[in-house]
Amino acid sequence: MQAVLDYLVSNESRFIADLSNYVRIPSVSAQPSHAPDMQRAAEWIRDHCCGIGLEAELHPTPGNPVLIARTPRQKNRKRPHYLVYGHYDVQPPEPFELWHSAPFEPIQRGRSLFGRGASDNKGQHLAHLNAIEAYLKTGTELPCDLTFLIEGEEEIGSNHLAQFLRTKRNELKCDGVVISDTGIPSLKQPALTCALRGIVAFELKVIGPNRDLHSGLFGGSVDNPALVLCQMLAKTRDSKGRITIPGFYDEVVKLTSAERREMAKLPFNERKESRFLGVPQLFGEKGFTVIEQRGTRPTLEINGLTSGYQGIGNKTIVPSWASAKITCRLVPDQKPEGLRKKIIQYLRTICPPTVKLQITSDHGGEPYHVSSESPQAQAALRALRSAFGHEPVLLREGGSIPIVNDFKKILGVDTLLLGLALPDDNAHSPNEKFNLDCYAKGMRLGALLWQELGRVSENDSA
**Residues at the interface with Zn ion (CB under 5 A):** 120
- Does residue 397 touch ligand BES according to CB under 6 A? yes
Nearer to ligand BES, 320 or 431 (CB): 431
- Does residue 37 touch ligand BES according to CB under 6 A? no
Q: Least distance in Å: CB of 87 to Zn ion?
A: 8
- Does residue 89 touch ligand BES according to CB under 6 A? no
Q: Least distance in Å: CB of 325 to Zn ion?
A: 16
Q: What is the maximal distance between C-alpha atoms in the chain?
A: 83
Q: How many CB atoms lie within 10 A of CB 131?
A: 26
Asked whether 146 and 70 are in contact (CB, 8 A), the reply is: yes
- Does residue 399 touch ligand BES according to CB under 6 A? yes
Query: In this structure, what DSSP letter does residue 393 have?
Result: E
Name the residue with the smallest CB distance to ligand BES: 399
Q: Which option in ligand BES, Zn ion, none does residue 366 bind, with CB closer than 5 to 8 A by kind? A: none
- Does residue 235 touch ligand BES according to CB under 6 A? no
The number of angstroms, rounded, from the C-alpha of 66 to the middle of its chain's C-alpha atoms is 17
Nearer to Zn ion, 175 or 397 (CB): 397
Q: Which option in ligand BES, Zn ion, none does residue 317 bind, with CB closer than 5 to 8 A by kind? A: none
Cα–Cα distance, 115 to 105 (Å, whole number): 7
Cα–Cα distance, 95 to 214 (Å, whole number): 31
Residues between 116 and 155 with contacts to ligand BES, criterion CB under 6 A? 120-121, 154-155
Q: Least distance in Å: CB of 196 to ligand BES?
A: 6
- Does residue 157 touch ligand BES according to CB under 6 A? yes
Nearer to Zn ion, 18 or 120 (CB): 120
Q: Least distance in Å: CB of 429 to ligand BES?
A: 11
* Beta strand spans in 282-341 (E): 299-307, 317-318, 321-330
- Does residue 451 touch ligand BES according to CB under 6 A? no
Q: Identify which of 444, 461, 449 has the alpha carbon closest to the alpha carbon of residue 382.
A: 449
Identify the three-state secondary structure at position 333.
coil
Residues between 258 and 277 with contacts to ligand BES, criterion CB under 6 A? none
Cα–Cα distance, 144 to 51 (Å, whole number): 20
| Binding-residue pattern over the window 355 to 394 for ligand BES, x denoting contact by CB under 6 A | --------x-x-----------------------------
Nearer to Zn ion, 196 or 347 (CB): 196
* Binding span for ligand BES by CB under 6 A among 7-15, 16-24, 249-257, 399-407: 399-407
Peptide bond into 280 cis (omega under 30): no
Among 18, 37, 181, 452, binds ligand BES (CB under 6 A): 181
- Does residue 183 touch ligand BES according to CB under 6 A? yes
Among 68, 196, 204, 387, binds ligand BES (CB under 6 A): 196
Q: Least distance in Å: CB of 120 to Zn ion?
A: 4
Nearer to ligand BES, 130 or 182 (CB): 182
Q: For residues 52-85, b (16+ Cβ closer than 10 Å) or e, as one string?
A: bebebebeebebbbbbbbbbeeeeeeebbbbbbb
12-23 and 123-137 helices, crossing angle to 10°: 140
Identify the three-state secondary structure at position 428.
coil
The number of angstroms, rounded, from the C-alpha of 291 to the middle of its chain's C-alpha atoms is 18
* Binding span for ligand BES by CB under 6 A among 62-70, 214-222, 400-408, 433-441: 400-408
Strands 81-87 and 176-179 turn out to be parallel
Nearer to ligand BES, 81 or 297 (CB): 297
> In Å, how far are 178, 225, 228, 359, 364 from 234, measured between CA atoms?
40, 14, 10, 17, 23
Nearer to ligand BES, 123 or 319 (CB): 123
Q: Identify which of 397, 369, 392 has the alpha carbon closest to the alpha carbon of residue 380.
A: 392
CB-based contacts of 191, cutoff 8 Å, min separation 6: 182, 183, 184, 185, 384, 392, 393, 394, 395, 418, 419
Nearer to ligand BES, 175 or 181 (CB): 181
Q: Which residues of the shown chain bind ligand BES in the complex (CB under 6 A)?
A: 120-121, 154-155, 157, 181-183, 196, 199, 363, 365, 397, 399-402
